[in-house]
């Protein structure tokens, strides 16, 4: 096993802002109607590139489709979203599939207690085209415990279980990621300690583990560079979003294509 640890500074997402934003987005979704193959806002505007395909609007079993590109031509990307549960006091659960020139994916996403964000779950399975096996298939899942995240971000200290955990399995290797925040040093930023564990799996586990150890330095460099790039992107975008009120946020999401 190879263990890589790195810390990045991230602009925070205030809990009150997220609660208000999720409430506004849920209100917006519940104010829409599905009619004549379109999803419409209360003022009659159509939500771009989204159409109902099956079931009753926002009821379990409802299916929506979105296609990027001209019609169903070669190279278009198609996404299907299925509502599994829509109860804002309990959970929002969605299943999704996607297909395009780069491959296919299937997954599920869940937000527990949307009115008081408590727990986020995500799982994805993908098959990539143009990539040799065993790297053409991977499974990923992630879990975020929101209340524990904000508590750690405000108070710091070690957590028995990191609030954010993710796992990626690809061929003969597996990566496990854990992240925990603590108060930052500058202007309310958060420092997030990220730990990545890489290990082999399956019959070739001993050989893969040996290869990972031999390649530890370039792997560590690649992981830290990727985390730093992600942090820069986060810090460039997130403060712009958290500066918006709920109505401004909804308007921005509807106008961006």
pLDDT higher than threshold 90 for residue 124: yes
Pairing of strands 38-40, 33-35: antiparallel
Q: Average pLDDT of 127-152?
A: 86
Report domain extents, the chain. 2-255
Using pLDDT thresholds of 50, 70 and 90, give the confidence band for residue 72.
very low
The candidate with the shortest Cα–Cα distance to 204, out of 168, 173, 170, 167, is 173
pLDDT higher than threshold 70 for residue 157: no
Q: Average pLDDT of 176-183?
A: 93
**φ and ψ of 135, to 5 deg:** -80, 0
Per-residue pLDDT at 190? 87
pLDDT higher than threshold 60 for residue 31: yes
Task: Indicate the average pLDDT of the chain.
Answer: 88
Tell me the whole-structure pTM to 2 decimals. Answer: 0.86
> What is the spatial distance between Cα 184 and Cα 187, in angstroms, rounded to a whole number?
8
pLDDT higher than threshold 90 for residue 27: yes
Share of the chain above pLDDT 70, in %: 93
Using pLDDT thresholds of 50, 70 and 90, give the confidence band for residue 242.
very high
pLDDT higher than threshold 80 for residue 226: yes
Per-residue pLDDT at 236? 96
Share of the chain above pLDDT 90, in %: 60
pLDDT tens digits, 198-211: 988 877 777 877 88
pLDDT higher than threshold 60 for residue 70: no
């Amino acid at each position: 096993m190879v263990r890589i640890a790195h810390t990045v500074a991230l602009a925070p997402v205030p809990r009150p802002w997220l609660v208000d934003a999720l409430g506004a987005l849920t209100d917006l979704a519940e104010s829409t109607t599905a009619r004549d193959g379109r999803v419409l806002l209360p003022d009659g505007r159509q939500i771009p590139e989204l159409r109902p395909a099956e079931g009753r609007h926002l009821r379990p079993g409802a299916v929506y489709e979105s296609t990027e590109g001209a019609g169903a031509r070669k190279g278009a990307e198609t996404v299907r979203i299925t509502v599994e549960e829509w109860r804002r006091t309990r959970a929002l659960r969605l299943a999704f599939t996607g297909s395009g020139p780069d491959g296919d994916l299937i997954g599920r996403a869940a937000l527990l207690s949307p009115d008081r964000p408590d727990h986020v779950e995500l799982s994805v399975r993908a098959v990539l085209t143009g990539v040799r096996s065993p790297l053409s298939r991977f499974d990923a899942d992630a879990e975020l415990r929101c209340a524990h995240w904000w508590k750690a971000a405000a108070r710091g200290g070690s957590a028995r279980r990191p609030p954010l955990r993710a796992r990626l399995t690809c061929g003969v290797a597996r990566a496990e990621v854990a992240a925990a925040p603590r108060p930052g040093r500058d202007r309310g930023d958060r420092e997030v300690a990220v730990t990545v564990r890489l290990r082999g799996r399956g019959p070739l586990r001993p050989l893969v583990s040996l290869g990972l150890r031999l390649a530890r330095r370039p792997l560590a460099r690649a992981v830290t560079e990727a985390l730093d790039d992600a942090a820069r992107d986060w810090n460039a975008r997130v403060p712009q979003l958290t500066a918006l009120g709920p109505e401004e946020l909804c308007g921005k999401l509807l106008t961006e294509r």
